[in-house]
Structure 1
Amino acid sequence: MTPDEDVTSLADALEDKRNRSTDSGPAVSRALIADSSGAETTFVVRSLPVTELGVGDVLVAVSWSSVNFKDSLASRKDGRVARINPLVPGIDLAGTIVAPGNSGLQPGAPVVVHGYDLGVARHGGFSEYARVPAEWVVPLNDGLSLRQAMTLGTAGFTAALSVIALEEHGLTPGRGPVLVTGATGGVGSVAVSILASRGYQVTAVTGKPDAADWLHSLGAGGVIDRAGVGDPARPLQKEIWAGAIDNVGGQTLAAVLASMRYGSAVAASGNTGGTALPTTVFPFILRGISLLGIDSVQCPIDRRREVWARLANDLRPPLLDDLATDEVDLDGVPEALARIHDGGNRGRTLVRLR
């Protein structure tokens, strides 16, 4: 062997030592990194030392993540969501346990992690591995594959929370029609499917006329344009809806509140239509309407695990796989983030890590 071959062999050996797995997991993780240090956010896919993934006693081998509207905000310099820079985005993930820490789970156990500071104040799911606190980990119940778990993801979890909140308020299929705004988005499309499977008469609201057939296939009985919700400038309108799931906010939510039936409720979780709510007190004090705030970020872990157990059972959408309309690898994530930010997304976009 020549001296040059000796040097090459030694370099290869050192590289292999840096990258091979150890008892506590791999040394590096391939990840998408968003860097907002310059005038605009830039993206690069590269290997990141696992030691730099953040503090947490559980190491997860990520199989799937998904693209959410919040991810698009966390990946933009003007998004005002990310709290560290550079950042590996991805507010949810599904994978298997590598190092269980204090989770009480066994290596290889399938899990879901989402919310809290994931993909916002600490590196998230757009990475082959993730390090998280044990108290964030949700064991995945039988009935959902890892891919299906991310077809649901944060969006499906939020939709399930919304349905549960309305039913805990007293909503039943016999009470009347239910409205879902932002119906082609992740939360909206899952909500349409869950509600329809539970026997509700669902009307979907969308600004995309070409999505009507798809929404009907998910179970929507009616599909209307945003203008069909009503005039947000009128504080009270004809009583139509026995319940509503709003993923838009702004003027759309104001119009929804004005057309709710007496004593009904709206579950609200979105702000793509704006953060201001141009309404009056009349829907609340004259019709007894309840506005139910839905938060999937800081939802307590016991509640989180209960909801995921139901998503694998009675809240499981019957056409779950049809909700995944696109699948990308890490290189395709930046384009998917731009598309969802610009309102061009339909259903759920999955990110394949393995």
Structure 2
Amino acid sequence: MSFRAILITKTEQGQKAELTRLEESELMEGDVTVDVTHSSVNYKDGLAITGTSPIARRFPLIPGIDFAGVVRSSSNPRWKAGDQVVLNGYGVGEGHHGGFSEVARVNGDWLVPVPHGWTAADCMSVGVAGYTAMLCVMALEEQGVKPSDGDVLVTGAAGGVGTTAIVILAKLGYRVIASTGRVSEEPFLKSLGAAGVVDRNEFNGPVKPLAKSRWAACIDSVGSVTLANILSQMNPDGTVAACGLAQGMDLPTTVAPFILRGVKLIGINSVATPMPRRLQVWARLQKDLDLAKLHALTTHVSLDQVPQVAADIVAGKVKGRVVVDIRQG
């Protein structure tokens, strides 16, 4: 039985991604086969599809680092046909065929159940980005960051991680300041719960070892000079949760923020989160994420639109979350 999927191939002329039809025999090994109903387009998907960064570790590859759907068949004792499941991480869409496909075959130990009362579309409105945002929020909480401590900065605020982080933090009572290069999105960001908006260029200048302290905490998806400047501006004992590298992998900072202000830099790895923690994150999302606001920042596209959306997300033209309705079109 054939199915539709986005496939990345590589030749001497470079790589390309296009919608094609595959046979189930072309899927990779796994003990659970899922009929995928929804996926989402994340920044990492954009990098993989456009070839901007070497995210894809094998060719040909079905990209898509998350998906949700219904179990068709399973030899894994955790799952049976008809179960609703969601997956993100574990190298899916990087080294293992991913979610931009009508069918996926994966290790059943990578799957979690769709939260009670939620749909597959809800889960993909969250997706890797929202899941990562909640990991960041939990990391701040575990370092003792409280709403009364002061402003929490969210960088890349119009993107998937940023928008979801704003919604969660605002609901929890934090005063959120959104950093974005798209200041025209200020009304949108404030509608999500941001108390203020700052231009990302404020964090693009020369990095001082220490600057005036401004932030009790930060969720950063940008990295590079932006993160270095933010570290220099943290309040004493402030915490930064770092989860992305949209500006770059480098970090041109000094030890000054760490040894003179006690600043903490916490790395967030959403790919290899242990299953107990993974289940905690989804439970927190179900409890602390306003689905109505999540839906307001989500757009829906069809599978054939994914390559263009991927290019747009790398170019910084996409705001909020993009859900792929796999069966549409």
TM-score, structure 2 length as denominator? 0.96
Aligned positions of 1:207-286 closer than 5 A: 207-229=181-203, 231-286=205-260
State whether structure 2 residue 318 is matched by structure 1 residue 351: no
The one-letter amino acid paired with 1:130 is: A
State whether structure 2 residue 85 is matched by structure 1 residue 85: no
Deviation at 1:103, TM superposition (A): 4.4
The 1:102/1:33 distance shift into structure 2, 3 A limit, reads same
Secondary structure in 1 aligned to 2:14? coil
The one-letter amino acid paired with 1:253 is: L
CA–CA separation in structure 2 for the residues paired with 1:172 and 1:51: 52
The residue number in structure 1 matching 2:162 is 188
The residue number in structure 1 matching 2:171 is 197
Aligned positions of 1:1-354 closer than 5 A: 27-229=1-203, 231-316=205-290, 319-324=293-298, 326-354=299-327
CA–CA separation in structure 2 for the residues paired with 1:34 and 1:335: 14
The one-letter amino acid paired with 1:334 is: P
Q: Deviations over 1:94-119 (max 9, x none)?
A: 11111132142232221111111201
Secondary structure in 1 aligned to 2:165? helix
Higher mean C-alpha displacement, 53-62 vs 69-78 = 69-78
Alpha carbons 2:203, 2:225 under 8 Å: kept: no
Alpha carbons 1:197, 1:317 under 8 Å: kept: no
Deviation at 1:230, TM superposition (A): 7.2
CA–CA separation in structure 2 for the residues paired with 1:258 and 1:210: 27
Deviation at 1:76, TM superposition (A): 3.3
Alpha carbons 1:92, 1:153 under 8 Å: kept: yes
Deviation at 1:349, TM superposition (A): 1.1
CA–CA separation in structure 2 for the residues paired with 1:73 and 1:271: 11
Q: Deviations over 1:13-48 (max 9, x none)?
A: xxxxxxxxxxxxxx3221111212242322332221
The residue number in structure 2 matching 1:7 is none
The 1:338/1:332 distance shift into structure 2, 3 A limit, reads same
The one-letter amino acid paired with 1:34 is: I
Aligned residues: 327
CA–CA separation in structure 1 for the residues paired with 2:185 and 2:137: 22
CA–CA separation in structure 2 for the residues paired with 1:47 and 1:353: 13
Alpha carbons 1:197, 1:318 under 8 Å: kept: no
Deviation at 1:318, TM superposition (A): 5.1
Q: Which runs of 5+ in 2 are unaligned?
A: none
Q: Deviations over 1:35-87 (max 9, x none)?
A: 12242322332221112111000111111101111112222345211111111
Higher mean C-alpha displacement, 127-136 vs 228-237 = 228-237
CA RMSD between the two structures: 1.4
Deviation at 1:227, TM superposition (A): 2.6
Alpha carbons 2:79, 2:108 under 8 Å: kept: no
Deviation at 1:315, TM superposition (A): 4.0
CA–CA separation in structure 1 for the residues paired with 2:262 and 2:17: 48
Secondary structure in 2 aligned to 1:328? strand
CA–CA separation in structure 2 for the residues paired with 1:245 and 1:232: 21
Alpha carbons 1:180, 1:244 under 8 Å: kept: yes
Q: Deviations over 1:255-297 (max 9, x none)?
A: 1101111111000011011111011000000000000000101
CA–CA separation in structure 2 for the residues paired with 1:299 and 1:193: 22
CA–CA separation in structure 2 for the residues paired with 1:119 and 1:165: 26
The one-letter amino acid paired with 1:327 is: H
The 1:78/1:336 distance shift into structure 2, 3 A limit, reads closer
Alpha carbons 1:115, 1:297 under 8 Å: kept: yes
Q: Which runs of 5+ in 1 are unaligned?
A: 1-26
Alpha carbons 1:151, 1:348 under 8 Å: kept: yes
The one-letter amino acid paired with 2:45 is: D
Among all aligned residue pairs of Structure 1 and Structure 2, give the percentage whose two residues are the same amino acid. Answer: 46
CA–CA separation in structure 1 for the residues paired with 2:28 and 2:243: 28
Deviation at 1:130, TM superposition (A): 0.4
CA–CA separation in structure 2 for the residues paired with 1:37 and 1:231: 40
The one-letter amino acid paired with 1:235 is: P
CA–CA separation in structure 1 for the residues paired with 2:146 and 2:186: 25
Alpha carbons 2:66, 2:92 under 8 Å: kept: yes
CA–CA separation in structure 2 for the residues paired with 1:38 and 1:72: 21
